[in-house]
Structure 1
Amino acid sequence: MRLLVLGGTHHVGRAVVEAGLGRGDQVTTLNRGVSRAPERGTEALVADRTDPDAVRAALAGREWDVVVDTWAKAPRVVRDSARLLADRAGHYVYVSSRGVHQWPWPSGADESAPLVDGDPASDDDTDYAAAKRGGELAVLESFPDRALLARAGGILGPYEDVGRMPWWLRRVERGGRVLAPGPSDRPLQFIDARDMAIWMLDAAERGLTGPFTVCSWPGHTTTGELLQAAVDVTGSGAELVWAPPELLEETGVGLGMELGLRFPGVPAPSGIHDADVSAAHAAGLRCRPIRETIADTWDWIQAEGDPAPLPDTPPPSTWLDPADEQRVLALLDERSGKATSP
């Protein structure tokens, strides 16, 4: 296919570029050209997405079979790009989020769960859910019957710029007793960005349209399997010490929020890791083992270094400050009658 990736240098966008090249697609990227060099084999166009005139000039006289858009901020930017490409692209894939559904998400929710309001003309990106829903509506405005809305759950894997697994990998690399958000057998539901990328391109090539919740089956892994894989791939020999969510809530420690295991005032929320993903899997989605995802993420940060923190993402210290970790470990020891290690 002739593939245009709006973005293409981070996380899902980078995975889409690599998946396209792996399929033999003709891959073009459009971004500001300031973060990293484009992948070999791609055609790199440079423009600021927030400047419609610059985007129009960069894309002038071109056509594509499929566009993949990863934009997560002001919906107006998606609207402008979709309008520009309406007569010059066959299919528009928008990387959306389960966040477009009204909270709290019901257990077992599928694509029909109630949605938040969104405005495709909005320049406001302060409300992530509304911005993503606005982006969806912006795409549907110009591609009403040629749009695929990929509503992702938690996205892991190499190139992850949110910093969830990179932070965890660095923490277990240091070894020792590592506070972990219990229970260890909590079923989890994530998606590797590379699996999502492969599915989106294959689905677009087949002309698939409409919204899909794109994530692994519920119980694809557990908290214990996820974090033990991190211990194993780093070779640190760290000891995972499991804290009940109620204790983390009681002590005011944010650990577990980064993985969607809890929220302030809600130690065990439902609906986060048990979405109905049967539609995407019936349409060909396949998810690799979590150990492979974690091992490849470790290899990536070893080769390229830790990702730069996103400006609108809470720093890891809000999840677990070292002093808080020691405080909660000591409290666990006290409550279990175990002598605290020096």
Structure 2
Amino acid sequence: MRLLVIGGSVFLGRSIVEEALRQGHEVTTFNRGRSGEDLPGVTAVRGDRENPDDLRALAEGRTWDAIVDVCGFTPRVVASSARALSGHAPLYAFVSTVSAISTWPAERVDETAPLWECDPEAGPEDGDYSVLKAGCERAVETFFDGGALILQPGLILGPWENVGRLPAWLRRIARGGRVLAPGDPGQEMQLIDARDIATFTVDQAAKGTEGRFLLTGPAGNTTFGRWLADCAEATGSDAEFVWVDDDFLHAREVEPWTELPLWIPAGESDAGAWSVATARAEAAGLRCRPVRETVRDTWDWLKDRDVAALEERLPSWRRHGIAPEKEARVLSEWDAR
């Protein structure tokens, strides 16, 4: 298979390229060369997808068996790519997100759930991340002259993570001592490794599969307590987890998702956050490795890296993790309650 990956140098995109090369496919990447390095073995085409001349130069004289777009965030930009690449491949696979579904995370969702309303040529001023992703999906379906494969991942973890959620926990737990742990250790979660999404994406692209797939791990494939214990095991830490009530953390303005990544306080309108239907993707071949393996491999990738350099290149890393002095204060107040 000849595959074009728009992006392809960061986290999920990198995993997709790596998997495609492993399977022996020919891979072309199209990116600006700023976010990360292309993997050896690809044909790297430099360009900005927001520049019509760069898109024309990419398409001129080239055809592929499938296109995978991992870095589309604005509908009108995706629409331009879809138009420019029409006729140059029979399939356009677009990596969206479960949050493009308007009823998630309040409800359990499947592939029939409604998307946010968003015009397929909307600009960045016309909505937030979730709304615009829904518009991007429509842009592919509307303007690409060929088949559309829409992939809606849930919470993605794994080596090369560029968001910083799992790395924040690994770094904190590796320091050891008493670790602030939020809410209920038995809270079930639903996590997926970027490499498992990559395998599914490449396999479906090779088959020419069309349609929509929600991609995340099986419901309850870990719990918050088990996940943090996996972090302790992977790092060899002597961390002592101190489980603190949601209300107590709320009262002290501890932020879910950022200061304590992946924490969803009980009672919030997120009943379906860890309850996404995966039957359709599993029937099509999705297989997910154990979360413990994802945690271990992420630590193996992270442990010897220059974290300061990563934070400089990946600003979102600096937003994840609680400040040590704030954690110590909350734990002290919890002890004295």
| TM-score where L is the length of structure 2 | 0.92
Residue 195 to residue 135, structure 1, CA distance change in 2 (3 Å): same
Q: Which segment is superposed worse, 93-102 or 114-123?
A: 114-123
User: When the two structures are aligned, how many residues end up with a matched partner?
Assistant: 333
2: CA distance between counterparts of 1:102 and 1:56? Answer: 34
- The one-letter amino acid of 2:90's match is G
Q: Which residue of 1 aligns with 2:281?
A: 280
Asked if the contact 2:192–2:291 (Cα under 8 Å) also holds between the matched residues in 1, the reply is: no
Q: Which residue of 2 aligns with 1:316?
A: 319
Residue 282 to residue 6, structure 1, CA distance change in 2 (3 Å): same
C-alpha displacement of 1:37 = 2.7
C-alpha displacement of 1:312 = 7.5
Asked if the contact 2:6–2:29 (Cα under 8 Å) also holds between the matched residues in 1, the reply is: yes
2: CA distance between counterparts of 1:65 and 1:305? Answer: 38
- The one-letter amino acid of 2:108's match is G
2: CA distance between counterparts of 1:304 and 1:68? Answer: 29
Q: What percent of counterpart residues are identical?
A: 41
SS at match of 2:124: coil
Residue 130 to residue 62, structure 1, CA distance change in 2 (3 Å): same
- The one-letter amino acid of 2:31's match is N
Q: Which residue of 2 aligns with 1:339?
A: none
2: CA distance between counterparts of 1:325 and 1:28? Answer: 46
1:254 aligns with 2:255: yes
Asked if the contact 1:75–1:120 (Cα under 8 Å) also holds between the matched residues in 2, the reply is: yes
Which residues of 2 match residues 80-229 of structure 1 at below 5 A? 80-103=80-103, 105-124=105-124, 127-143=128-144, 146-229=147-230
2: CA distance between counterparts of 1:289 and 1:176? Answer: 26
Deviation digits for residues 173-220 of structure 1 (CA, Å, limit 9, x no counterpart): 111111012211111111111100100111122222111110011101
Deviation digits for residues 100-136 of structure 1 (CA, Å, limit 9, x no counterpart): 1114534331111222112221221661011101110
2: CA distance between counterparts of 1:74 and 1:119? Answer: 10
Asked if the contact 1:154–1:189 (Cα under 8 Å) also holds between the matched residues in 2, the reply is: yes
C-alpha displacement of 1:59 = 3.0
Q: Which segment is superposed worse, 251-260 or 178-187?
A: 251-260
C-alpha displacement of 1:260 = 4.0
Which residues of 2 match residues 19-38 of structure 1 at below 5 A? 19-38=19-38
2: CA distance between counterparts of 1:154 and 1:189? Answer: 7
1: CA distance between counterparts of 2:116 and 2:249? Answer: 30
Q: Which segment is superposed worse, 266-275 or 57-66?
A: 266-275
Q: Which residue of 1 aligns with 2:69?
A: 69
Q: Which residue of 2 aligns with 1:332?
A: 334
Report the RMSD for the aligned CA atoms in angstroms.
2.1
C-alpha displacement of 1:246 = 2.1
Q: Which segment is superposed worse, 301-310 or 149-158?
A: 301-310
Deviation digits for residues 281-320 of structure 1 (CA, Å, limit 9, x no counterpart): 1111000011110111111123544433677748436x52
Asked if the contact 1:175–1:236 (Cα under 8 Å) also holds between the matched residues in 2, the reply is: yes
Asked if the contact 1:179–1:242 (Cα under 8 Å) also holds between the matched residues in 2, the reply is: yes
1: CA distance between counterparts of 2:15 and 2:75? Answer: 23
SS at match of 2:122: coil
2: CA distance between counterparts of 1:59 and 1:250? Answer: 55
- Gap runs ≥5 in structure 2: none
Asked if the contact 1:262–1:268 (Cα under 8 Å) also holds between the matched residues in 2, the reply is: no
Residue 271 to residue 181, structure 1, CA distance change in 2 (3 Å): same
Deviation digits for residues 76-115 of structure 1 (CA, Å, limit 9, x no counterpart): 1111111111101121111100111114534331111222
Q: Which residue of 1 aligns with 2:271?
A: 270
2: CA distance between counterparts of 1:62 and 1:97? Answer: 29
Deviation digits for residues 36-80 of structure 1 (CA, Å, limit 9, x no counterpart): 331111111100121121121133110000111012422211111
Q: Which residue of 1 aligns with 2:55?
A: 55
Q: Which segment is superposed worse, 74-83 or 17-26?
A: 74-83
Asked if the contact 2:28–2:45 (Cα under 8 Å) also holds between the matched residues in 1, the reply is: yes
C-alpha displacement of 1:266 = 5.0
Q: Which residue of 2 aligns with 1:5?
A: 5
Residue 333 to residue 84, structure 1, CA distance change in 2 (3 Å): same
1: CA distance between counterparts of 2:251 and 2:330? Answer: 10
Asked if the contact 1:261–1:269 (Cα under 8 Å) also holds between the matched residues in 2, the reply is: no
Q: Which residue of 1 aligns with 2:14?
A: 14
Asked if the contact 2:59–2:88 (Cα under 8 Å) also holds between the matched residues in 1, the reply is: no
Asked if the contact 1:155–1:191 (Cα under 8 Å) also holds between the matched residues in 2, the reply is: yes
SS at match of 2:27: strand
- The one-letter amino acid of 1:62's match is R
- Gap runs ≥5 in structure 1: 336-342
